[in-house]
Amino acid sequence: MPLELSNRTWPQRDPVLQGKPETAELVRSAARTFVSEGALVCKEINFNGQMAPLPRESSAITSLAMTDGCVYGATSGEESWLFQYALLPYCEAALPLAPIPDARAVTRSLVAMPGHVLYGGTCDPEGGHLFKATVSGLPGDVIQEWGFPRVSFERLAAPVPGEGILRLVASRDSERLFGLTNQTGTIFAYDLRERQARVLGQVDPIHFFSPVLVEDREGVWYAFGSAGRLMRFSPFMETIEATDLRVECFPGRGPYAKIAAAALDDASRRLYLGDTEGLLSYVDLDEWRVVPLGKPVALGGIDHLVLLPDGRLYGTAGSREGMAHLFVYQPRPGALRDLGVLCATTEKPWYGYRYGDMVATPEGRIVLGEADHLGCLFNYFPPLLAAGNPIE
C-alpha cells in the first residue's frame, strides 16, 4: 500500500542557521566529496531501457575489454554474463548478450580482438578454463530496432587444472594469451594458432604474488612477487627471472602489500604501479629505478589504473574501505590529485561504490564497471587540457 505523505509535517530548517557563512562552507565541503571536473554519464546494461537488465545476483562487473568501437564486459556472481557496450553515436547502447557457459567469475580476464572476437578466463572455486566468444553484429539503430547481436561460445583449455585464472592478457602480436592463476601464481601461455597451453613457471616460490601481468614494446613481460620484487620473462627465456628491483611499501607492511594495478606508458617507458596500501609509483624501465609518487587517496588501496593518450594517469582507490575515489596524476607538472567519489545524474542518478575494472578509449573516455548489485557502467569524460600544457 503506498504511503500517504500529503499530510506529513516535515522538519523545518532554521533560517538563522541557513544564513550563516559556516553553513555555506559546510555545503561546499559536502560538494567537494564528489568529482567536480569533466563529465560523467551512468549507463545501465538494458539496451537503453528496452531490455531486461542483467540478473541482480549476476551483475557485478569484473572485467572490461575494448575493440572495434565496443566495450565488452563480463560479470561475476551466480552466473557470469557477457555484455556489449557499443560506443558508436548511432547505436550507443549497453545490452546483455548471454551467460558464459560453466562460469561464475571472470576477474579482469577478458581480452578483445579485432572482429569482435573475445577470449576470457574463468576463476571459479573448483578451477578455471579459457573460453572464446564470437559476437556477430552490433545493436541496430536504437531508435528503430533492427535486431540484436548474437554470440557463440567455445570452451578451450584449462591451463592449470584446479586453479582459476586471475589475469589474462594478449601479447602485442595477438598470437598468444598470457595468464596468471589464482592460487600458486603460475604463469602460462596459450598459443591461439596451435590452441595449446604451456606452463612457464611460478611468479614467487612462496606464492605471494600480485595480480599483474604487463608486456612492454620489446616483448618482455613483468610480474611481481613477494616484497614487491619485479619479475620478468619473455617467450624466448627458459625461466622467470627475479630482478634486483623492488617496489617499496610502507614500513612494516611488506608481508601484506601487493601491487594491485599497473599501466605502462610506452612513450616514457614508465610502468606505473599502485599497491594495496594506496601508494602510487613508477618503474623507469630505461634507467631501471623506482620513483615513488605518493598516496593519492587517504582511504586505502589502489584498485585500477589507466593511461590516456595524452599521458594522464587515472585510477581508483579506496573501495576496500568504503566508496572508491577517482584520482589523476599529470606527469607535467607532476600533480597528483584526489578527484572524489563518482556521482552521476545522467542518464541514471547513481553513486559508485566499487569498480571491478576500467578501460580508456582511444578518444580519452574512461569506462568503469561497477562491481556491485545492479552494476552500471560509468562513463567519465576528463576535462580537456589547456593549450600550452603538454604532457610527457
pLDDT given at position 5? 72
Is pLDDT at 295 greater than 80 in this prediction?
yes
pLDDT given at position 147? 66
Burial environment of residue 316 by CB neighbours within 10 A (0 to 12, 13 to 18, 19 or more): buried
How far CA 72 is from CA of 63, 91, 163, in Å, comes to: 8, 15, 24
pLDDT in tens, 100-136: 999 999 999 999 999 999 999 999 999 999 999 999 8
Where do the structural domains in the chain lie, given as residue ranges?
247-341
Sheet of strand 280-284: strand arrangement = 259-265, 270-275, 280-284, 289-294
CATH architecture of 247-341: 6 Propeller (2.120)
| 3 state SS of 389 | coil
Q: What are phi and psi of 290, to 5 degrees?
A: -105, 130
Asked whether 227 and 237 are in contact (CB, 8 A), the reply is: no
Express as a percent the part of the chain with pLDDT over 90: 74
Asked whether 303 and 317 are in contact (CB, 8 A), the reply is: yes
Residue where the block lists cell 546494461: 45
Task: Indicate the pLDDT class of residue 18, thresholds 50, 70 and 90.
Answer: confident
Per-residue pLDDT averaged across 319-323, rounded? 84
pLDDT in tens, 64-84: 999 999 999 999 999 999 999
Task: Indicate the pLDDT class of residue 372, thresholds 50, 70 and 90.
Answer: very high
Express as a percent the part of the chain with pLDDT over 70: 95
Buried b / exposed e across 175-211, counting CB within 10 Å, b at 16+? ebbbbbbbeebbbbbbebeeeebeebebbbeeebbbb
Residue where the block lists cell 615513488: 292
β partners of residue 282: 272, 291
Q: Assign 3-state DSSP to the chain and report helix, strand, coil percentages, each to 5.
A: 5, 45, 50
pLDDT in tens, 332-357: 888 999 999 999 998 999 999 999 99
What's the distance, Cα to Cα, between the start and end of the chain in Å? 61
Mean pLDDT of the chain: 91
Per-residue pLDDT averaged across 47-51, rounded? 85
Would you mind telling me the total number of residues written for the chain in this entry?
392
Q: Residue 48's Cα: distance from chain center in Å?
A: 23
pLDDT given at position 235? 74
- Rounded to whole angstroms, the Cα distance separating 211 from 218 reads 22
Contacts of 241 (CB under 8 A, 6+ apart): 231, 232, 233
Residue where the block lists cell 576535462: 383
pLDDT given at position 366? 98
pLDDT in tens, 216-254: 999 999 999 998 999 999 877 778 999 999 998 888 888
Contacts of 121 (CB under 8 A, 6+ apart): 106, 109, 128, 129, 130, 131, 164, 165, 168, 179
Q: All 3 cell numbers of residue 2? A: 503506498
pLDDT given at position 389? 46
List the single range of 18-32, 284-298, 354-368 with lowest mean pLDDT.
18-32
Question: Which spans in the chain are helix H?
Answer: 15-18, 21-31
List the single range of 9-13, 260-264, 291-295 with lowest mean pLDDT.
9-13
Is pLDDT at 196 greater than 90 in this prediction?
yes
pLDDT given at position 352? 93
- Rounded to whole angstroms, the Cα distance separating 260 from 237 reads 25
Residue where the block lists cell 612477487: 225
Contacts of 168 (CB under 8 A, 6+ apart): 108, 109, 110, 111, 119, 120, 121, 130, 177, 178, 179, 180
Is pLDDT at 2 greater than 90 in this prediction?
no
Q: All 3 cell numbers of residue 288? A: 631501471
